[in-house]
Amino acid sequence: MTQPVTIIMIEDDEGHARLIERNIRRSGVNNEIVPFANGTDAMRHLFGADGSGLVQKGRALLILLDLNLPDMTGIDILRQIKENKHLRASPVVVLTTTDDSQEITRCYELGCNVYITKPVNYENFANAIRQLGLFFSVIQVPSAAT
Amino acid sequence: MLTVISAGSVYLVNKARSDNAWVVHTIEVENQVNALLLEIRRAESGARGYLLTREPEFLADHEAAAAAVLPALDQLSRLTADNPVHLDNVGKLKAAIGIRLDQFSREMDFVKQGKPERAVALVREDAAADTTATIRQIAQAMMGEEERLFTLRTANADRSQTLAASMTGIGSGLVVVLALISTGLVRRSARARDEAEARLRDANLNLEATVDSRTADLREANAEIQRFAYIVSHDLRSPLVNIMGFTSELEELGRDVFRRIGGLTHVPAGGPPVAANEADELPLEAPDKQLSRDFSEALGFIKSSIAKMDRLISAILNLTREGRREFEPVNIDTRELIAGIVETLAHQAAEAQAEIRIGELPDVVSDRLALEQIFSNLIDNAVKYLRVGVPGEIAVRGRTKLGYAIFEIRDNGRGIDPRDHQRIFDLFRRAGTQDKPGQGIGLAHVRALVRRLGGTMSVSSELNAGSTFTVTLPIKWNASNRNAEP
């Protein structure tokens, strides 16, 4: 059963969000993008009012996650997503300005699927996002339902 | 003081003893004089008895007495040899006794020859001459003299004894007083010492506490600066991504805009608008072309500035990251480490016609990566900043001193103006001709590492006369002198 993948973008910087969206669209991905500017709203959306994550059961999600959020760290969100049985199958792409190897390692340990550094060099950034778009079009997002 | 007193009392006791001896001596002299007179009397009475009775016992008695007179006189003269008055008197006495003895012997001779009348006459004559009286007088004078000396000497002896006694008394008193004083002083100084010790202990404890709290403060402040630098540089990056991103978007937009302008203004007569696919060669009219160039130039400056800012931020990030890295002390074969660095720089060295010599190097226990960064930065600098046209000579040497390893990296390069010696260690600061690429980070980084390793570094250099960088590191670095990181 195929279902269009919804992209959840958790990014507090509006400019970054706009640039990411623009480049995703440029790479030809037309999936719905649901943006969140802070962690709390995103968590409510992902886990539902009861915090169980049941609301997302059976839906195909791809999560774009910034690590620097005003109200909580992206690492926490990543951990909770990967600990939730309804959400943990959803791919998580971490997008951040840090290229600290310790942080990258930590994210992969917590189960992040892709880690992208936002380089100041825009060409690189745009390329990374477009490749991500290609990646979206080829991955089979597991239909988390069972 | 006590010595003086004891010496004085010893002297006085001795004096008292000698004074007493003198008193005894006086008495002896008196005795001797009396004994002498007694002997003369005995001789006289013996002689008289013999004259009257002709009994030989009297003669023997007289002769024994007469014989005892001379030794007694000798004895007296020996005893009184020290006194000039006596010497004179003894002389007179000797003469008188001599005459008397002579008279005696003549009397005796007459008696023996059976001429008693002549002997009697002689006795009479003798009595008239009164030699015996003379003797007695002299003896009396001597006795008087001795009496005088006796009084004198007794007084002397008494005085000496009194003095000695009082001296001893004073001495004992002084000893007691001094003992009391010194006991008091000792007690007082002991108390003072105890108090000082207590104060010192307190001060030490306080000092340690102060040092601890200051160190904690410093570490706190240092950690804060590190965090601050990290956060600032990290957070500065976020807007930079936007600036760069939208600048690029703007560039794209600008190209589109000018392409459209070109399309609108440059409509070939009757033809379709020019296909706008040749991005760089837009068919613009001269003023529009100028506008397009200005636009691109402005964006170019913005982008190059952003790129520079990004490099600086990255540098700060790397520095703070270095500051947060935990060091791991391992045994390091310094020579091997430096040889490895020199090998990686062999290409640059060959290009610069530089020869790198490695001298004696002490091994250390330290963090390998930090040491590699320190030496590769310094040797790289030495290769980089040689004088144009002068073959480079770079020497790496080391020695140990008091638990520290001192390394020297010496070159014959362009040198550093002494005014810049402090500046070159500051972040983003460089010195001399700016003809080599660089951010002004290397030495700041090196110095931060050396400090974290518990060492110091310095430079000595003159312009155009080469530079020597000296790095002093503890031979054995361990976690205890590590900066505590939160």
Q: What does the pLDDT read at residue B279?
A: 46
Q: What does the pLDDT read at residue B128?
A: 67
Tokens 């959306």 correspond to A45
pLDDT(B356) > 80: yes
β-sheet bridge partners, residue B358: B396
Tell me whether strands A33-36 and A6-10 are parallel, antiparallel or unpaired.
parallel
Answer yes or no: are the C-beta atoms of A90 and A81 closer than 8 Å.
Answer: yes
Mean pLDDT computed over A26-44:
86
Band of the pLDDT at B179, cuts 50, 70, 90?
very high
Handedness of CA B223, B229, B235, B238 (dihedral sign): negative
Q: Tell me if chain B has a CB within 8 Å of the CB of A19.
A: yes
**Alpha carbons A10 and B449: distance in angstroms, whole number:** 38
Band of the pLDDT at B45, cuts 50, 70, 90?
confident
SS (H, E, C) B359-421: CCCCCEEEEHHHHHHHHHHHHHHHHHCCCCCCCEEEEEEEEEECCEEEEEEEECCCCCCHHHC
Q: What does the pLDDT read at residue A136?
A: 65
Distances in whole angstroms, Cα of residue B263 to Cα of each of A40, B254, B397: 49, 14, 70
Give A 83-122 residues with CB within 8 A of chain B. 97-98, 100, 118-122
The secondary element (H helix, E strand) that includes residue B456 is strand B456-461
Strand locations in B122-233 (E): none
Chain B residues with CB-CB distance to A123 below 8 A: 248
Chain B residues with CB-CB distance to A121 below 8 A: 244, 307, 310
Q: What does the pLDDT read at residue B198?
A: 94
Chain B residues with CB-CB distance to A104 below 8 A: none
Question: Residue B114: CB partners within 8 Å, gap ≥ 6?
Answer: none
Q: What does the pLDDT read at residue B480?
A: 56
Question: Residue A62: CB partners within 8 Å, gap ≥ 6?
Answer: A5, A6, A7, A8, A31, A90, A91, A93, A136, A141
Mean pLDDT computed over A105-118:
87
Which of A97, A101, A103 is the best mutation test for B, with the most CBs of B within 10 A?
A97
Q: What does the pLDDT read at residue B200?
A: 93
- Residues across chain B: 486
Name the packing angle between helices A14-26 and B131-265 (round to 10°): 40
CA of B233 to nearest chain A CA: how many angstroms apart?
A: 10
Structure tokens, B420 = 């810049």
- A6-138 CATH fold: Rossmann fold (3.40.50)
**A15 and B241: CB-CB below 8 Å?**
yes
Band of the pLDDT at B268, cuts 50, 70, 90?
low
Chain B residues with CB-CB distance to A15 below 8 A: 239, 241-242, 245-246
Band of the pLDDT at B278, cuts 50, 70, 90?
very low
The partner residue sitting opposite B241, judged by closest CB among A22, A118, A123, is A118
Q: Closest by alpha carbon to B384, among B316, B467, B320?
A: B467
Structure tokens, B204 = 């030490």
SS3 at position B113: coil
β-sheet bridge partners, residue B263: none
**Alpha carbons B66 and B83: distance in angstroms, whole number:** 26
β-sheet bridge partners, residue B364: B332
Band of the pLDDT at B470, cuts 50, 70, 90?
very high
Tell me whether strands B329-332 and A114-117 are parallel, antiparallel or unpaired.
unpaired
Q: What does the pLDDT read at residue B192?
A: 94
Q: How many CB atoms lie within 10 A of CB B252?
A: 11
Q: What does the pLDDT read at residue B189?
A: 94
pLDDT(A137) > 70: no
Answer yes or no: are the C-beta atoms of B262 and B284 closer than 8 Å.
Answer: yes
Task: Render pLDDT for B46-98 as a digit per residue (tens, 0 to 9).
Answer: 878 887 887 788 888 888 888 888 888 888 888 877 777 777 878 887 888 88
Q: What is the dihedral of CA B348, B350, B351, B357, to 10 degrees?
A: 70
| Closest chain A residue to the Cα of B321, Cα to Cα | A100
CA of B240 to nearest chain A CA: how many angstroms apart?
A: 6
Answer yes or no: are the C-beta atoms of B471 and B400 closer than 8 Å.
Answer: no
**B242 and A15: CB-CB below 8 Å?**
yes
Q: What is the dihedral of CA A65, A66, A69, A75, to 10 degrees?
A: 70
Mean pLDDT estimate for chain B: 83
Range with lowest mean pLDDT among B190-194, B322-326, B402-406:
B322-326
Q: What does the pLDDT read at residue B282?
A: 59
The partner residue sitting opposite A15, judged by closest CB among B246, B310, B317, is B246
Range with lowest mean pLDDT among A28-42, A72-86, B24-38, B81-95:
B81-95
Band of the pLDDT at B482, cuts 50, 70, 90?
very low
**A122 and B307: CB-CB below 8 Å?**
no
Structure tokens, A83 = 């600990």
| Closest chain A residue to the Cα of B309, Cα to Cα | A120
Q: For chains A and B, what is the number of CB pairs under 8 angstroms? A: 52
**B244 and A120: CB-CB below 8 Å?**
yes
Task: Render pLDDT for B90-128 as a digit per residue (tens, 0 to 9).
Answer: 888 788 888 878 877 887 788 778 777 777 777 777 776
Band of the pLDDT at B484, cuts 50, 70, 90?
very low
**A120 and B241: CB-CB below 8 Å?**
yes
Question: Residue B248: CB partners within 8 Å, gap ≥ 6?
Answer: A122, A123, A126, B303
**Alpha carbons B467 and B392: distance in angstroms, whole number:** 12
Mean pLDDT computed over B390-402:
88
**Alpha carbons B181 and B414: distance in angstroms, whole number:** 76
CA of B253 to nearest chain A CA: how many angstroms apart?
A: 13
pLDDT(B181) > 50: yes
The residue extents of the domains of chain A are: 6-138
The partner residue sitting opposite A13, judged by closest CB among B234, B238, B307, is B238
Q: Any long-range contacts for B80-83 (C-beta under 8 Å, 24+ apart)?
A: B80/B29, B80/B142, B83/B145, B83/B149
Q: How many CB atoms lie within 10 A of CB A37?
A: 18
Band of the pLDDT at A145, cuts 50, 70, 90?
very low
pLDDT(B266) > 60: yes
The backbone torsions φ and ψ at residue B271, rounded to the nearest 5 degrees and listed phi first, read -90, 170
The partner residue sitting opposite B242, judged by closest CB among A16, A121, A123, is A16
Most confident of B221-225, B237-241, B335-339: B335-339
**Alpha carbons A43 and A51: distance in angstroms, whole number:** 8
Question: In chain B, how long is the greatest CA-to-CA distance?
Answer: 214
pLDDT(B194) > 70: yes
Chain B residues with CB-CB distance to A97 below 8 A: 234, 237-238, 241
CA of B328 to nearest chain A CA: how many angstroms apart?
A: 17
Task: Render pLDDT for B434-464 as a digit per residue (tens, 0 to 9).
Answer: 778 777 888 888 888 898 888 899 999 888 8
SS (H, E, C) chain A: CCCCCEEEEECCCHHHHHHHHHHHHHCCCCCCEEEECCHHHHHHHHHCCCCCCHHHCCCCEEEEEECECCCCEHHHHHHHHHHCCCCCCCCEEEEECCCCHHHHHHHHHCCCCEEEECCCCHHHHHHHHHHHHHHHHHCCCCCCCC
Q: How many CB atoms lie within 10 A of CB B427?
A: 16
Answer yes or no: are the C-beta atoms of B393 and B450 closer than 8 Å.
Answer: no
The backbone torsions φ and ψ at residue A74, rounded to the nearest 5 degrees and listed phi first, read -60, -30
| Closest chain B residue to the Cα of A70, Cα to Cα | B235
Answer yes or no: are the C-beta atoms of B110 and B118 closer than 8 Å.
Answer: yes
